[in-house]
Amino acid sequence: MLVRVFPEQIGDAWDTLRRAVVPSLPRADQVDAVQIANVLFSLMSEKAQLWVYYRTGEDLKRLPIMVLVTTIQRDEVARTANLLIYTAVSLATPTQEEWDDGLETLYSFADSLGLLDVVAYASDEATRLFMSRGGSKISNYVRF
């Protein structure tokens, strides 16, 4: 089950959540205290959204298996907006059912905001995973 973590819940758990989120940020090797504070500010001001996917174990304990940060990506030229999976970290490999369930939650959230698609920047490895799970590759993002 993919659950949104709201700002009032983030503060108490930030030390734990930070350890999951920061290593998956773009250019994580260059992330400094100011950038970490920017991530926290974006989450607390709801410019970005924090999500945790929980797997329910046989003992009914919820086990976190994935942490995501999303944000709204606006294309001013095309006048469209998408829900961008800004960063994701997997703590365990999700099953196809868990993957589908999580995406359905993101689709519903995006739809409720009138957004066009759910999109992500991804490494080649992640792109292969996303494509094997029903995603489609429509472009490459190149850094100079």
- pLDDT tens readout for residues 89-133: 888 888 888 888 999 999 999 999 999 999 987 767 777 777 777
Helix (H, G, I), strand (E, B) or coil at 92: coil
Reading the block at residue 26, the tokens are: 């773009």
pLDDT value of residue 141: 65
- For residue 47, the domain's CATH number is 3.40.630.30
Stated pTM of the model:
0.83
Contact 102, 128 (CB under 8 A): no
At 25, the amino acid letter reads L
pLDDT value of residue 143: 63
pLDDT value of residue 9: 92
Contacts of 81 (CB under 8 A, 6+ apart): 72, 73, 74, 75, 113, 114, 115, 116
Residue numbers of the domain that contains 120 = 2-132
Residue 144 domain flag: no
